[in-house]
Structure 1
Amino acid sequence: MCGLAGYFAYRDAAVTPARETLAAVRDRMTARGPDGAGLWVAGDARVGLAHRRLSIIDLSDAGFQPMLSRDGRHAIVFNGEIYNYAALQAELEAEGRVFRGHSDTEVLLALYDRDGDAMLDRLRGMYAIALWDMERRRLLLARDPYGIKPLYIADVGGCIRFASQVKALLADPAIPQTIDPAGLVGFHMTGSVPEPFTLYRAISAVPAGHKIVVDAGGVGPAVPHATVVDRIARAEPRAFDAGAVQAALADSVRAHLVADVEVGIFLSSGVDSGALLGLMRDAADAPPIATTLRFEEFAGRDNDETPLAAEIARLYGARHHVRTVTGAEFAADIDAIGAAMDQPSIDGINSWFVSKATRELGLKVALSGLGGDELLAGYSSFRTMPQTHRYAGPLARVPGLGPVARAALKRLAPRLLDRNPKLAGLFDLPASWAGTYLLRRAVLLPFELDAVLDRDTVAEGLERLDILGLIGRAVPVGAGSDVARVASLESSLYMRNQLLRDSDWAGMAHGLEIRVPLVDYTLLGQVAPMMGAITPGLGKATLAAAPSVPLPDHVVNRPKTGFSIPVASWLSNSQSAPDRRDARQWARHVAGLFVGDAAAPIAA
């Protein structure tokens, strides 16, 4: 795990960044890689690669990046982990290839030398790759299927720059910092900036599961090599097999424990992290270290994670650490959180503090239960979205009904609309799956944006973003079940744009690699054919029973609380329960951290 950066001046007339500029971009990501820094520039200075290292696999200098192949024909910088690298290395060694060490980065170089871009089909893991082919004068950029690891590009004046963080690229003065209305509008609507947009017009994301090739002909299009929506769409339906799912879950956990350092786990009171801890204990040689957050505001309430988390830790013999977080610490950390947050997000505070607490224990790697709800139909959206689409869809397809209904609600029932702002979208959005999903996940609906942004920004942002088209591309064509559709939508949008991205910046801010065994493309391939047979509760019950010692029934059947944090009460200095408007209040504050006009300062 680490941070990568680089550039390629593909046009002869392009001005190349200075070596010092590349170093500055790299060192904006020092927190991602506190264990070392590297920089390589080609002899003609047309290509440069840079790297910050967090040593996880092969702690020796043999894992140092940028890394050149033994014959000097290829150079690479890589962020992530390839969990099947040892098997790939053994396969390559059997063919006579010789390795200096045992890093997954060196395996990528050898695999590319043999297979070219087809190597991407062999990888199990999370990754962002930038590989320079010196003979072909060709740059390959690629991301893993789920988009766990970020990779951003800026094509300016015939020179493409790239880095693991948006804010790192901003260290290059050649990159314009003009705000993109699409990114700003997207954030206010969804609570995060939808990929491939960023907050800046000049910077975009390499889409998850895609590759981009840059050569003398210019920057090629983003080409899919493995995507979540395609894997779900192509799955051949079959009956649910709990044993097969549990075996696949155990296999994924074993794969995600590959490391030359100790691996810990984030532990809440829920099924996902509890089952992962049990599977981790089954596979590990020693009792795992588990970290749980405690909040004084939640003491004695249902959303207090600590009592049940402690019980789960005892069940699996974990070394359990409970870390109390207070409003005062939140206030003290808010500037650091804003600086570390790479793109605006209404989430991620929980990941910040649990990562901070885990790194305080000396760990560099921790497992997270993120992804279980998306894979195994744990969210209420798997029930409510099909119902909304089915029952409200016909009415929503009546031409012109939406604006008329909104006007009537504002005039006749303003208090009802204030308590339930999404009611205003019920009369037109459920006409499509994309609209139904937007209604479910939106922070602000399109017709509410004028309250927080000027009309010109809203108009241009909505046009560029095309939010319904963007969401619609995440609906798997031909999927035979509502569960498959919702799984694809949640995984490709909310999880990718918010949960995974937040885990990346928040974990990396503390030099902690967060691994997500339930967000695994191999695992998805085994579960996707059975999605149509997953009924409410079945997926999570199957996960809970996967460890050799299953989770007890009172954990499995406990009402879902999520990995929550009392931001609302910290912002308002009150103990009141959060409601729908709290996300909007926090969104306004976060937007202010990036573009000014922040909400009122946060008090301790």
Structure 2
Amino acid sequence: MCGIAGILSSPAGLTDLEANLVRMQSALLHRGPDDGGVWMDGIRSVGLAHRRLSILDLSSAGHQPMISADGRRVICFNGEIYNFRELRADLESRGVVFATQSDTEVLLQLYARHGENMVRQLRGMFAFCLWDEDKQEALLARDPLGIKPLYVHEANGTLAFASELRALCGSGIFKPALDAEAVCRYFETGTVPEPLTLAKEVRMLEAGHTLVWKAGKTQRQRYWNLSFGSDFSGDDIRHAREALIDSVRHHFVSDVPVGVFLSGGIDSTAILALANEAGHRGISSFSITVDDEVADEGPIARRTAAHFGSNHHEMRLDAEVARGLFGEFLKHLDQPSIDGLNTFTVSSLARQHGMKVVLSGLGGDELFGGYSSFSKIPKMLRLHPVLSRVPGLPMLLQRGKPQHRRLADFLRSPGTVADAFGALRGIFSKGEAAALTRWITGEGSQFAVPGSRLESGKNDGAAQDQISELELTRYMRNQLLRDSDVMSMARGLELRVPFVDRVLAERITEIPAPQRLRPNKALLTEAVPEVPEWVVNQKKRGFLFPYQKWLGSEWGDEFARAGAGAPVPMPNWYQVWSVFVLKHCIESLGMKP
């Protein structure tokens, strides 16, 4: 896991190539405290920068940017390739000789034989740029499910990229300006959806895509897409268990110890149980306890750790301790989000105990139907044709609570799965988001609704698959994965997500929705029967902190000031939080509306 950055320009491009590269590299220091490097071509039109967190091949042979033995290719790479040993063995059988034990060198050799198509063979989380000196072109790529970020700026034939938006905005290549559409989408959903970013000049390379740059021109291509099966005839429980064990085993590929984030929920407990099954017993586990009996999962996590024999560590968090961490959290916040402090906190704990790699249960709810959206959205779809025809109902709902105002949006919509998802997952109604956008940016907010290929399903099975896809590609990708990456890397920690694995996703989604998405994640708990009953039978709470309580006491004044003068009411903590962190990001990124 690392931080990468680079600039691709024509021979008459940037005059300050090295200075721009060094600025971006310095901004990514926290992502790679172990080593760093900068490479530039002979005429200084192309440059790559890297910060390294050593996980595989801890020697200096793993230094990046890495140059191929023949000097024809150079790569800077962020992430891990979990099947690199299988890929390496295949290449060696064809006569390829390797100089290192790193997965980075495997990428160089794969490209030499397969070109851009090499990305289809990769199993892992990755974002990289590979420069081909002979072709004078670059290949940029991002993993299928969007675990690792890659931000891109294009202007006048020059392309710059980085692992974090902050690095690009501070590069000196351009002056960042606030994107009003990104602000509006943020207020609607609680995150900035890719490919948008807060900066007009920067876009995210979308998950499962490659980008080829040559002579100032770019071409993007999707190389992977999620699909769902409907005619699986095997033993679904056995099929799921084999796929899960396989994924967890691959996620232990490391030359340093691997730990696990352990909440009181099913997903992280299943990861710990499968780690034991895969032969990794006694690993370190990390949990946060909070000063709120309803939200605190510490006692269950403690009991689970003792049950599986993990080396358990806890951090007790109250409003005062959390406030002490909050400043550092804000310092590393790359794009605004209503989440992320939990990951930052538990990552701090893991790093204090010397960890470089941890596993997380993120993604289990999306694959196995753990969210309330899987039961609520089908009901919303069935009621839409009736309620949307009730005279005056949307206007009446508009006067209600925040969730009622979002429901009014849904009743005014065509009533697709995506419409229902937006209303259920939203933060503000569309009208409120528009008013807040004008308040923050001074611009109107008549933006086209993002296109969606998802339509309302003909039956609950089809709708459930669409809900799963939306949870995976919107909520998980745009919020959970992004926050997990930036907040774990803020502490120099690599966070791995065995549920968010291309091979696992392809295998699990072969199982039709009625079996895969049974209530209470039944398929997952049956596939991993080692998960104790005290975990399975508890009410789902999620890995949350008691923000409402904290904002009502020690934190209240600062957040109240941020929301002063807002054109809409904000009765919920996450609404106040959303305004506070957005204003902070705008200021810290040096943006102007």
Counterpart of 2:6 in structure 1 is: 6
Counterpart of 1:379 in structure 2 is: 371
| AA at the equivalent of 2:283 | P
- Cα separation, 2, equivalents of 1:557 and 1:41: 57
Counterpart of 2:577 in structure 1 is: 586
- Cα separation, 2, equivalents of 1:77 and 1:575: 41
- Cα separation, 2, equivalents of 1:451 and 1:460: 8
- Cα separation, 2, equivalents of 1:527 and 1:538: 16
Contact 1:238-1:530 within 8 A present in 2 as well: yes
Partner-residue secondary structure (3-state), 2:572 = helix
Counterpart of 2:415 in structure 1 is: 431
Counterpart of 2:76 in structure 1 is: 77
- Cα separation, 2, equivalents of 1:178 and 1:564: 33
Contact 1:63-1:105 within 8 A present in 2 as well: yes
| AA at the equivalent of 1:429 | S
For residues 163-178 of structure 1, the aligned pairs below 5 Å read: 163-178=162-177
Given candidates 255, 263, 275, the residue that maps to 1:260 is 255
- Shift in CA distance, 475/160, structure 1 to aligned 2, threshold 3 Å: farther
- Cα separation, 2, equivalents of 1:395 and 1:295: 41
Counterpart of 2:23 in structure 1 is: 24
Give deviations 1:100-135, integer Å, cap 9, x for gaps. 111000000000001111111100000001010111
Contact 1:154-1:162 within 8 A present in 2 as well: yes
| AA at the equivalent of 1:246 | R
Give the superposition deviation at 1:476: 11
- Cα separation, 2, equivalents of 1:346 and 1:538: 27
- Cα separation, 2, equivalents of 1:304 and 1:351: 15
Give deviations 1:390-414, integer Å, cap 9, x for gaps. 2214544x6xx89x5444445xxx4
Give the superposition deviation at 1:21: 1.8
Contact 2:434-2:444 within 8 A present in 1 as well: no
For residues 400-419 of structure 1, the aligned pairs below 5 Å read: 405-409=393-397, 414=399, 416-417=400-401
- Shift in CA distance, 179/69, structure 1 to aligned 2, threshold 3 Å: same
Q: In the alignment, is residue 498 of structure 1 matched against residue 469 of structure 2?
A: no
Give the superposition deviation at 1:289: 0.5
Counterpart of 2:431 in structure 1 is: 447
- Cα separation, 1, equivalents of 2:494 and 2:440: 40
Give the superposition deviation at 1:87: 0.7
TM-score by length of 1: 0.90
- Cα separation, 2, equivalents of 1:339 and 1:490: 28
Given candidates 223, 226, 229, the residue that maps to 1:225 is 223
| AA at the equivalent of 1:280 | A
Q: In the alignment, is residue 482 of structure 1 matched against residue 463 of structure 2?
A: yes
- Shift in CA distance, 462/32, structure 1 to aligned 2, threshold 3 Å: farther
Contact 2:37-2:63 within 8 A present in 1 as well: yes
Counterpart of 2:566 in structure 1 is: none
- Shift in CA distance, 307/461, structure 1 to aligned 2, threshold 3 Å: same
- Shift in CA distance, 91/559, structure 1 to aligned 2, threshold 3 Å: same
Partner-residue secondary structure (3-state), 1:258 = coil
Contact 2:484-2:495 within 8 A present in 1 as well: yes
- Shift in CA distance, 461/8, structure 1 to aligned 2, threshold 3 Å: farther
| AA at the equivalent of 1:257 | F
Contact 1:140-1:214 within 8 A present in 2 as well: yes
Partner-residue secondary structure (3-state), 1:194 = coil
Counterpart of 2:353 in structure 1 is: 361
Counterpart of 1:251 in structure 2 is: 246
Given candidates 291, 305, 312, the residue that maps to 1:313 is 305
Partner-residue secondary structure (3-state), 1:594 = helix
Give deviations 1:229-265, integer Å, cap 9, x for gaps. xx33xx3532461111011001100000110000000
Counterpart of 1:422 in structure 2 is: 406
- Cα separation, 1, equivalents of 2:520 and 2:408: 33
Counterpart of 1:326 in structure 2 is: 318
Partner-residue secondary structure (3-state), 1:454 = helix
- Cα separation, 2, equivalents of 1:422 and 1:477: 21
- Cα separation, 1, equivalents of 2:439 and 2:312: 51
| AA at the equivalent of 2:285 | A
| AA at the equivalent of 2:225 | T
For residues 89-168 of structure 1, the aligned pairs below 5 Å read: 89-168=88-167
TM-score by length of 2: 0.92
Give the superposition deviation at 1:335: 2.2
- Cα separation, 1, equivalents of 2:310 and 2:445: 48
Q: In the alignment, is residue 282 of structure 1 matched against residue 273 of structure 2?
A: no
Counterpart of 1:551 in structure 2 is: 531
Give the superposition deviation at 1:352: 0.6
Contact 1:429-1:439 within 8 A present in 2 as well: no
Q: In the alignment, is residue 560 of structure 1 matched against residue 540 of structure 2?
A: yes
Counterpart of 2:34 in structure 1 is: 35
| AA at the equivalent of 1:270 | G
- Shift in CA distance, 581/132, structure 1 to aligned 2, threshold 3 Å: same
- Cα separation, 2, equivalents of 1:418 and 1:132: 49
- Cα separation, 2, equivalents of 1:67 and 1:477: 48
- Cα separation, 1, equivalents of 2:58 and 2:480: 29
| AA at the equivalent of 1:237 | D
Q: In the alignment, is residue 392 of structure 1 matched against residue 384 of structure 2?
A: yes
- Shift in CA distance, 363/407, structure 1 to aligned 2, threshold 3 Å: same
Partner-residue secondary structure (3-state), 2:511 = helix
- Cα separation, 2, equivalents of 1:279 and 1:462: 49
| AA at the equivalent of 1:166 | L
- Cα separation, 2, equivalents of 1:226 and 1:418: 37
| AA at the equivalent of 1:43 | G
Contact 1:393-1:430 within 8 A present in 2 as well: no
| AA at the equivalent of 1:7 | I
Partner-residue secondary structure (3-state), 2:130 = strand
Give deviations 1:500-538, integer Å, cap 9, x for gaps. 000001000000010000011100111112132236645
- Cα separation, 2, equivalents of 1:540 and 1:566: 25
- Shift in CA distance, 393/102, structure 1 to aligned 2, threshold 3 Å: farther
Counterpart of 1:602 in structure 2 is: none
- Shift in CA distance, 474/126, structure 1 to aligned 2, threshold 3 Å: farther
Q: Which moved more, 1:327-336 or 1:198-207?
A: 327-336
Contact 2:381-2:456 within 8 A present in 1 as well: no
Give the superposition deviation at 1:12: 4.7
| Runs of 5+ unmatched residues, structure 1 | 598-604
Give the superposition deviation at 1:478: 10
- Cα separation, 2, equivalents of 1:374 and 1:5: 31
- Cα separation, 2, equivalents of 1:82 and 1:392: 45
| Runs of 5+ unmatched residues, structure 2 | 557-569, 589-593
Counterpart of 1:512 in structure 2 is: 493
Contact 2:7-2:161 within 8 A present in 1 as well: yes
* Identity of matched residues, %: 38
- Cα separation, 2, equivalents of 1:26 and 1:456: 31
Contact 1:264-1:363 within 8 A present in 2 as well: yes
Give deviations 1:311-343, integer Å, cap 9, x for gaps. 111111111111112211222222221120111
Given candidates 522, 538, 551, the residue that maps to 1:571 is 551
| AA at the equivalent of 2:50 | H
Counterpart of 2:567 in structure 1 is: none
Q: Which moved more, 1:195-204 or 1:473-482?
A: 473-482
| AA at the equivalent of 1:593 | H
Give deviations 1:264-292, integer Å, cap 9, x for gaps. 00001111000110101122344110001
Partner-residue secondary structure (3-state), 1:481 = helix
- Cα separation, 1, equivalents of 2:478 and 2:504: 20
